[in-house]
Amino acid sequence: MSTPDALTLANLIERSGGAGRAVSTRDHCVPLGSFASLSVFGAERERFADRSVALYVGDMAKAAAALIDLDGLARRILLCPPGWDAAKLRSAAAQAECDALAFDEASAAPTLGVDVRLPVRLPLDPREAFKQTPIETEWILPTSGTSGPPKLAVHTLGALVGAIGEQPLQQWATFYDIRRYGGLQIFLRALSGQGSLHLSAVDEAIESFLDRLGASGVTHISGTPTHWRKALMAGAASRISPAYVRLSGEIADDAVLEGLAAAFPNARVEHAYASTEAGVAFAVDDGRAGFPADFLNREGAVQMKLVEGTLRLRSPRRALRLLGADAPALVDAEGFVDTGDVIEIRGDRCLFMGRRGGVINVGGAKVHPEEVEAVLNSLPCVRASRVFGKANPITGALVAADIVLNEPTAPREGLEREIIALARKQLPAHMAPARIRFVADLPMTDAGKLSRHG
């Protein structure tokens, strides 16, 4: 796979220019202009040449620096997301045939039977000039699916940056972890541009992170709708003033889009659709949930169609394949990835209804939790909601909801009935929540999505 013009992260940084650029967290700052002579692995960097490396670190600035060091040098990089325990690491490392480990010296080194183990250290240390021509490294991205063990998607840097055009001077931040597809896109955008990237530290409160972004003059910020609802609750409107707000990873409903437009009247608010398997498909900035129906079946680099109501995508930015002998096929006979996202066409718009596997069956009628959440989230007193099925001896299941109220609304007598009545006006009887619990917060997965188990 050794080609003289293999695209690498080092090329991206060099090509885009810009001075004083850095990737920083609260605790570390990695200057992007120094990787020609410095490395997180110092003089030992070359021991990773042609290895399949499991990258297992806590701090995101360390992860970013190690990625820049390893891309073009290692045969493969397995990007272990935060929160993985040693068992998950071992299982994925075996699948990815890892023979090397880059770990965080700030935490205990996990046991993994590999030939090369090196700590990721900041600040950067001097390294030797390396003679070998950069190779095309395989990037192994675990999917963020919430059921079963993660699938490991194989990408190349060329496909990963396929949706990224020319990037002017933008100061980026993301609520995502950069080892997830959505966050990785922002990392690559920042490296392709002329500005810096600001990332959250492990255990950093969202208020402190937002204040840091405000003080750093960040202009472009991305996160999931769940991230953004949290940010709005944390007073983001007065802490940051972005020119561009990006949402991806979950359904962006009208309520969150309107909330962001109101909080940041000068910002362009855009929601993007992407998945680890299929890559970035499209982005929409007209302020409405869903996407124009004429995106379906049109010609172009990315093609989209519905099969039994579920979105399928054919894209040059998709993963090459899934790792593992018993891995399912990534694409159908015509090269389309089945996203598992259910779409309904209403007028000139395609709306995301939810995941194919996530439906609640109420006496034979199917309910997508996300569709009910969109209605609940549009109510003035509701900030966020999570809809789930509650077992019931009569209908098999009922629709139930956990609701986070808008401050300063406090749960008061009769509010549950009021919300149910309001939902009933917009939803058929079986879809309106039968039971509501008021909660202070909703569980979020490590991927920044609303947790649907818990």
Applying CB under 8 A, the residues found at the interface with another protein are 362-363, 390, 392-395, 398, 417, 420-421, 424, 429-430, 434-435
Q: Nearest approach, Cβ of 361 to another protein (angstroms)?
A: 12
Residue carrying structure tokens 């990625």: 67
Tell me if the bond preceding 408 is cis, omega within 30° of 0. Answer: yes
| Residues whose CB is less than 8 angstroms from the CB of residue 330 and which lie 6 or more positions away in sequence, other chains included | 153, 277, 318, 319, 321, 322, 337
| Residues whose CB is less than 8 angstroms from the CB of residue 426 and which lie 6 or more positions away in sequence, other chains included | 375
Select from 187, 166, 161 the least CA-distant residue to 23: 187
Between 412 and 437, whose beta carbon lies closer to another protein?
437
Q: Nearest approach, Cβ of 420 to another protein (angstroms)?
A: 6
Between 169 and 429, whose beta carbon lies closer to another protein?
429
Between 11 and 392, whose beta carbon lies closer to another protein?
392
| Residues whose CB is less than 8 angstroms from the CB of residue 409 and which lie 6 or more positions away in sequence, other chains included | 381, 415
Q: Nearest approach, Cβ of 253 to another protein (angstroms)?
A: 24
Q: How far apart are CA 131 and CA 127, in angstroms?
A: 12
Tell me if the bond preceding 123 is cis, omega within 30° of 0. Answer: yes
Between 80 and 419, whose beta carbon lies closer to another protein?
419
Q: Nearest approach, Cβ of 451 to another protein (angstroms)?
A: 23
Q: Nearest approach, Cβ of 400 to another protein (angstroms)?
A: 8
Between 123 and 363, whose beta carbon lies closer to another protein?
363
Q: How far apart are CA 51 and CA 75, in angstroms?
A: 5
Between 65 and 401, whose beta carbon lies closer to another protein?
401
Q: Which helix (H) or strand (E) holds 172?
A: strand 172-174
Select from 309, 375, 294, 297 the least CA-distant residue to 343: 309
Q: Nearest approach, Cβ of 393 to another protein (angstroms)?
A: 4
| Residues whose CB is less than 8 angstroms from the CB of residue 189 and which lie 6 or more positions away in sequence, other chains included | 164, 167, 170, 172, 220
Please give the torsion angle defined by the CA atoms of residues 251, 256, 260 and 261, in that order, rounded to the nearest 10 degrees. 100
Between 265 and 364, whose beta carbon lies closer to another protein?
364
Between 325 and 391, whose beta carbon lies closer to another protein?
391
Q: Nearest approach, Cβ of 353 to another protein (angstroms)?
A: 21
Q: Nearest approach, Cβ of 434 to another protein (angstroms)?
A: 4
Between 220 and 368, whose beta carbon lies closer to another protein?
368
Q: Nearest approach, Cβ of 374 to another protein (angstroms)?
A: 21
Burial of 44: CB neighbours in 10 Å, binned 0-12, 13-18, 19+: middle
Give me Rg for the CA atoms of the chain: 22
3-state secondary structure of 215: helix
Q: Nearest approach, Cβ of 378 to another protein (angstroms)?
A: 20
Between 34 and 392, whose beta carbon lies closer to another protein?
392
For residue 358, what are its two tokens?
């996530």
Strand order in the sheet with 220-223: 29-31, 22-24, 197-199, 172-174, 220-223, 244-247, 268-275, 279-284
